[in-house]
Structure 1
Amino acid sequence: MAKLKTTYVCQNCGAVQSKWMGKCPECNQWNSLVEEVIEKQSSSKSSYNQNYIPKNTPVILSNVAGIETHRFETGIKELDQVLGGGIVKGSVVLIGGEPGIGKSTVILQVAGILNKKNKKVLYVSGEESPSQIRMRADRLNVTADNLELLTTTSFEDVLSATAIKQYDYLIIDSIQTITSEEIISGGGAVGQIRHVTYRLVELAKSTGLTVFIIGQVTKDGNIAGPKVLEHLVDTVLYFEGDYSRGVRIIRSVKNRFGSTDEVGIFEMSQSGLIEAGDRAFFDKDSSQASGKVICPVLEGTRPFLIEIQALVAPTFFQYPKRNATGYDNNRLAMLIAILEKKGGLNLSGADVYLNIAGGIKINEPSADLAVCAALISSFKDKPVPYTMAFAGEVGLTGEIRSVSNIQGRINECSKFGVETLYTNNKHEKSKNIKLVNVKNINDLLKL
């Protein structure tokens, strides 16, 4: 009997090693290498078989008939925007996120909408029983009389079901629970996930079946199993948000049929995910206090208002604290140093806390001016009216730099009653709100 050949695959990054190691040399993760059996390679030097009949042959690009990409709108505008306008037939969409954040909820809502529009949907679950899915559907008020359920962990059962009956949409919840008999390894292993996903992509491209795949994430925030999934599928959506407030954000990080970096904003309720729009991050009716500033930011091509909250308080420790939630700590430390050096504020003896309301995380430098305004407001204990907004990048010399898509930010500010926008876009004009040029930090302090 021939000896089986084995390799050791990292369950975190997918790197392959010839022998077991305590720590993966690629991603430095401990105890992540798992033994997997691979097929014995042929000893023949030549891999070409003269009797082999190829499945496909090369074609001339100019002879290929172009087709208009057909999209199907789900009826959930926020989700359609992230997908680039709707679902593309024959595409494979990967949805990742932490447990309990709403992946199964939104996909069941989408399945109900598709079923109401006479689309044939097969929902495959390897984690829940049909009665559990029915309970969740009743709670979400999803009435899908013809929605078909298949509870299995066998990929061969999925192939058999799709071969017997032609479906328009296939939902896999989740990919970590599905195993194939063709691979000798446990469920959730990188080899299994890679093989099953590859076969699903092959099935979608050959039959026109649209596939939704739900993937769990690791503690580092990456989809478990790995980057191999992101390379295979057409679209990758990530769920993130604030559990305490019920805010959920669907972020597109890869989309072969549309723009990337788009976001959809939802709120989690008892009846499922509902579209929240911009109101999830900005509450105009909340109490006005020092340290609260409004800022228009961009996520992809979409502008929306956020509320930046700052607290500057005397410290009782030898080293003052610098803590930021939803914002980069290093950038906060840089802005504090600029305010001290160029603005003359004595923040070295104060604890500084910064929070982006709504649970959103921002990396855009256009929020620098608003962060500085919030710090100054809290330090001087002077409230900033909600009729004012700030947008600008702060340089190390204290100058304020212009921001992109200023017209979109202006339009978003006007929707919420903002009357004045402080920025440094000199050549921009607006009929809706007043634009005030701020050249440097000293101009901001004089306001």
Structure 2
Amino acid sequence: MATDHAPPAPSSSPVEAPVRVLLPQVLPALVVGVAASLLFIGISYLSEEFQDVLWHDLPDALGIGGYSSLWMIAMLTASGIAVGLVIWKVPGHAGPDPASEGLGGAPLAPAVVPGLLLASTLTLAGGVSLGPENPIIAANIALAYWLGRKAQPSLPGAVWVSLASAATIGALFGTPVAAALVLSEALAGQPGRGSLWDRMFAPLVAAGAGAVTTQLLAEPSFDLGLPVLDSPGFGDLLAAVVIAAAAAAFGLVAGYLFPYVHGAFHRLRHPMLMLPLGGLVLGLLGALGGPLTLFKGLEQMKELAEGAGGWSSGELAKFAAVKLLALVVAASCGFRGGRIFPAVFAGAAFGLLAQALVTEVHPAVAVSSAVLGFLLATTRQGWISLFTAAVIAASPAMIALLCVASLPAWLIVTGRPQLELDHEGKAMR
């Protein structure tokens, strides 16, 4: 007697992509990874060379102190004028308002890229409190999307976007781990065939190529030379939780201020009014906070950490507050740059302040926990915040502490304004 057999139940596990699908993605990913890193290194080199001219060679030739209050005010105002001219006159106007742009986004037209890179270079060299990440990622996405679709039109445009994003994040942080964390957060809720690792395969190749290229040519480092914590105890855990929560609350100040400061500048409407005024305000803040509060903050953060113990709590509070305000002003008035690097400086200054107030707290616990909390407040990028804090701590033993400390900090920031606006100028939550 014939028996009916029920069809097999569909497997709940994702279908693995065959090797023949993944292998052809390797070469495009490698090319994008290396190219993205080279663009980042090139812009960084140009901005650093120009920075030396503006802040050392030129004032020396004029017999003026490079970091005198007068020079900082004049230089940042001049930077606002220069960037304003680029946004006003160069085709593409250096891209959309950066206040409403996060990491990545839709590809820009190729004609926008030269103006965006020029504005970013002037911003970095001029001492503005912004980093290179957003413009470099946007430029690499635009170029990869444009050239990739010409070279291999069969590949979906989204592939080139993910490759460029991953490659640039890998290049910026000098490791593909940061890109892996960001990608996992971005792809987790997206439908797609194959496992998460199948979808991450080519972007991770690109991130690895970008990271290795940067490591070989530029040797980036977030190491602050802090004492390593080998055996954390309950006191360290309590300190990490408290400091991360306090830094998150401090970082929220930037989110609450952002839409109001942005709205005030944009009532001026014209870039030749917004940018020079923004530069003047940044110059005044620089004169108040000193040269450590200028620029993107990575090298300044190392100098800050090297002098730990020599700064008074008042000085550290001033550094943290001035950097927070400078970040808000720079992002509001239209300078082209990213917000992660200066946010890390503000978090590090806040952590050193906490350690100065309570000297029993280990410096690595104080600084890494504060960076974690401040980044959570300003970016809402959980993995990037944890990764950056862990790299600064330079201790595997700190990872568990930071994971626990992130939980109350997240409860403080979730649902509250972050340092990004929607296209109507309203705070994103």
For Structure 1 versus Structure 2, the TM-score category normalised by the shorter chain is: under 0.3
TM-score by length of 1: 0.22
Larger radius of gyration: 1
Q: Which has the higher strand share?
A: 1
Q: Which has the higher helix share?
A: 2
